[in-house]
Structure 1
Amino acid sequence: MNSLASRLVPKTVEKLIPYQSARRIGGSGHLWLNANELEKSCQYGAGDGEYHRYPDFLPHDLANAYLEYCRGTGDALRCEAVAVRGADEAIDLMIRTFCQPGADKIMICPPTYAMYEFCAESIAVEAVKAPLLEDFQLDMPAITRQLADTKILFLCSPNNPTGNVVEQADIIALLEAGKETTLIVVDEAYIEFAPETSVVNLIEQYPNLVVIRTLSKAFGLAAIRCGFLLADSSVMEYISRLIAPYPIADPVAEIALRALESDGIQKMRTQSDELISTREWFAEEVQKLAIVDTVYVSATNFVLIRFNDEECMYNYLLSKGIVTRNQAHEPALANCVRISIGSKSSMLETLNALKEYN
């Protein structure tokens, strides 16, 4: 099958034979002497698990559990999923699989997540830019002019650090425009805060669409480093060639599987609803302050605030023991600070600190 993925993938990857780890080769028997493992677990007081065996090379039960979770949100999915070590590894895998160093390009739309550019430039892949418009939506003419010359277009929706959702009609238009030339990767790390805006159900119609997800945000599992790539089988065929021999540790898979059970999903949704309520209250109260120019509409677990005072509010809040994220390095985000939404008491402390300055 002459898929877009097969035409985009570099010859070196096309010819690549994945590392044949012991778990990947498999086999059956009662003595497992094929992976240079200890036959007996050393006990180090790290729980009751036996960690002397290598994990599954691709934890299919975890990938299937995530697909079931996606279907539970109403998405009629006909795609494949693979678990990876956080969304960052998903980004890195996409670039290393489909881009040849020194020859190929990706496209990004700043201000957006910095790892797209970092992962590309770390292997000498150029990141061309089509900056967002003033309302943080896509500059469609600028993107379409360059689309055919780029292997991958990265879009983040809801976007980090601006917090807004990308117009779905624009994403569909780009999927159509890039059908024969470009993979469109939509990073949905924050999608649980705006689930109705997901494009994952479009993968069946558009095999050039890849969706990145994570358990780090709404599920609150940033420490375990577990994310997912969702894509058509034609794309996944090549992604699987570059995945590490044992990408997901057993303890990580166990925690993730528990989170994806019905009780875990319900806890996540309850906590997300509480966070959204706190976010809206905080945004409304902060907007009343004289030092605040704009509190941007957010569909995430943070708010982006543009201050109208020349003093850096990041430094001021830091002097109060409140660590936020200074976004002033972005040309479009002068005087902007990104503030993650914590508990009501944490946000009240932050609000009071800003009032004191005011």
Structure 2
Amino acid sequence: MQSLASKLVPSAVQKLIPYQSARRLGGNGHLWLNANELETCAQYGDLSQGSNDHYHRYPDFLPHDTAQAYLNYCEQQSGKLDCEIVAVRGADEAIDLLVRTFCSPGNDQIIICPPTYGMYEFCADSFSVKTCKVPLLENFQLDVENIKKQLPSSTLLFLCSPNNPTGNGINEADIVDLLEASKDSTLVVVDEAYIEFSKHGSALHLMHKYPHLIVIRTLSKAFGLAAIRCGFLLADTSVMAYINRLIAPYPIADPTAEIALKALSQNGLHLMQQQTSKLIQVREWFKGQLMLLDSVQHVFGSETNFVLIRFSNNVNSYQYLIEQGIVTRNQIHEPALNDCIRITIGSKESMLETLNALKNLN
């Protein structure tokens, strides 16, 4: 039976032969003279004194140890998963890969549900792919019926749960409803960059029933490793077969893979969970304190490492905080988020400084 991925993938990708890098081709031997590397190289001080003294060699085609370690972590929460996983340079590369793999410029469209993460539309625009927008409802949940109307003409549906910038998780029942409705038409992508901060479970456990479900994850948020640019894309074999044709020859640098493996060790996971628990406590305290301020109209619920706040009309909270040396994220560009700013949760000391500044906001 033909998979949905094979029906949707453009003919150019269908015919594409993946670039055969030296590491991808592999081989056995004791002299490695196939990748135009320097067999001997200068020692750059401390740079070459770490756990990896082979920086003159290209990294693995795909960092299997890193990907497997992350899959093991996922299975601790979701049970045994029947899917493939690939490490990518942050969740943003996963989004870009999906658009380039399954969309044909000038012909296909994706669906997004604003207000949501801006990279979905950006990646589509950069590849001349149309973006169909089905705005969230007033409670920031999905407008399921209107999304369904767009599924027959759309290749990808991007859902962000928990959602950025609104902070809420998407009802799993709605995701299942859309997975059922899209079986023959659309690949459904659930971006779970903030899942560790959420009370909602991951959508990963749905993969065994819905092979057209794709999940994006990252080490940038709860793991606190934004600088290393390491994310993960989890999908059925039928989907990954085409993604692997477009993935870069050496997508993850060895130092990145080393740091990721440490973060995914038993000790690393324990530290992440402690850090996440502490952040959630600070988030809830901060929300409570915000609601006591006269300038604050509404504090939205959050299952992320940030809070979305609506201030009273005509109060320029963003500019005021800038003047106090506190940089937040203005949401004025989103029609549904007038008078709103998004504030990342930092240390309790940072949030206390922010609160003290806001007490003087008129």
Which of the five TM-score ranges fits, normalised by the shorter chain? Answer: over 0.9
1:92 positional shift: 0.2
Distance in 2, matches of 1:126 and 1:200, equals: 28
State the secondary structure of the residue aligned to 2:360: helix
Q: Is the 8 A contact 1:148 1:182 kept in 2?
A: yes
Is structure 2 residue 224 aligned with structure 1 residue 206? no
Q: Is the 8 A contact 2:48 2:55 kept in 1?
A: no
1:122 positional shift: 0.3
Which residue number corresponds to residue 327 of structure 1? 331
Is structure 2 residue 185 aligned with structure 1 residue 181? yes
Distance in 2, matches of 1:219 and 1:115, equals: 21
Which residue number corresponds to residue 8 of structure 2? 8
- Cα distance change, pair 195–357 in 1 and its aligned pair in 2 (3 A): closer
- Let me know the Cα RMSD of the aligned residues: 0.9
Aligned with 1:87 (options 82, 87, 91)? 91
State the secondary structure of the residue aligned to 1:107: strand
Distance in 1, matches of 2:10 and 2:316, equals: 46
Which residue number corresponds to residue 357 of structure 1? 361
Is structure 2 residue 20 aligned with structure 1 residue 20? yes
User: Over residues 302-337 of structure 1, what are the superposed CA-to-partner deviations in whole Å (9 max), with x where a residue is unaligned?
Assistant: 000000130321100000000000001100000000
* Counterpart mapping for 1:20-99 below 5 A: 20-45=20-45, 46-48=47-49, 49-99=53-103
Is structure 2 residue 81 aligned with structure 1 residue 107? no
Q: Which moved more, 1:65-74 or 1:251-260?
A: 65-74
Which residue number corresponds to residue 116 of structure 1? 120
Q: Is the 8 A contact 2:62 2:87 kept in 1?
A: yes
1:357 positional shift: 1.6
Q: Is the 8 A contact 1:23 1:57 kept in 2?
A: yes
Is structure 2 residue 234 aligned with structure 1 residue 234? no
* Structure 2 alignment gaps of length 5 or more: none
Which residue number corresponds to residue 132 of structure 1? 136
Question: Which residue type is aligned with residue 251 of structure 1?
Answer: P
Distance in 2, matches of 1:40 and 1:204, equals: 48
Q: Is the 8 A contact 1:185 1:211 kept in 2?
A: yes
Q: Is the 8 A contact 2:295 2:315 kept in 1?
A: no
1:73 positional shift: 1.8
Which residue number corresponds to residue 293 of structure 2? 289
User: Over residues 115-163 of structure 1, what are the superposed CA-to-partner deviations in whole Å (9 max), with x where a residue is unaligned?
Assistant: 0000001010001000001110001111011111100000000000000
Question: Which residue type is aligned with residue 309 of structure 1?
Answer: N
Distance in 1, matches of 2:325 and 2:163, equals: 27
Q: Is the 8 A contact 1:327 1:336 kept in 2?
A: yes
1:197 positional shift: 2.1
1:287 positional shift: 0.9
Q: Is the 8 A contact 1:75 1:200 kept in 2?
A: no
Which residue number corresponds to residue 267 of structure 1? 271
Which residue number corresponds to residue 280 of structure 1? 284
Structure 1 moving runs of 4+ over 6 Å = none
State the secondary structure of the residue aligned to 1:81: strand
Which residue number corresponds to residue 157 of structure 1? 161
Distance in 2, matches of 1:97 and 1:309, equals: 44
1:201 positional shift: 1.1
Matched positions, count = 358
1:53 positional shift: 0.3
State the secondary structure of the residue aligned to 1:321: coil
Q: Is the 8 A contact 2:78 2:202 kept in 1?
A: no
Distance in 2, matches of 1:195 and 1:261, equals: 23
Which residue number corresponds to residue 350 of structure 2? 346
1:195 positional shift: 5.9
Distance in 2, matches of 1:309 and 1:291, equals: 9
Give the percent of matched residue pairs that are identical in Structure 1 and Structure 2. 66
Question: Which residue type is aligned with residue 34 of structure 2?
Answer: N
Q: Is the 8 A contact 2:95 2:120 kept in 1?
A: yes
Question: Which residue type is aligned with residue 208 of structure 1?
Answer: H
Distance in 1, matches of 2:72 and 2:26, equals: 26
1:290 positional shift: 1.0
Distance in 2, matches of 1:312 and 1:19, equals: 51
1:194 positional shift: 1.5
Which residue number corresponds to residue 248 of structure 2? 244
Q: Which moved more, 1:187-196 or 1:99-108?
A: 187-196
Question: Which residue type is aligned with residue 236 of structure 1?
Answer: M
Q: Is the 8 A contact 1:41 1:50 kept in 2?
A: no
- Cα distance change, pair 127–340 in 1 and its aligned pair in 2 (3 A): same
Aligned with 1:313 (options 309, 312, 317)? 317
1:183 positional shift: 0.3
User: Over residues 77-113 of structure 1, what are the superposed CA-to-partner deviations in whole Å (9 max), with x where a residue is unaligned?
Assistant: 1111000000000000000000000000000000000
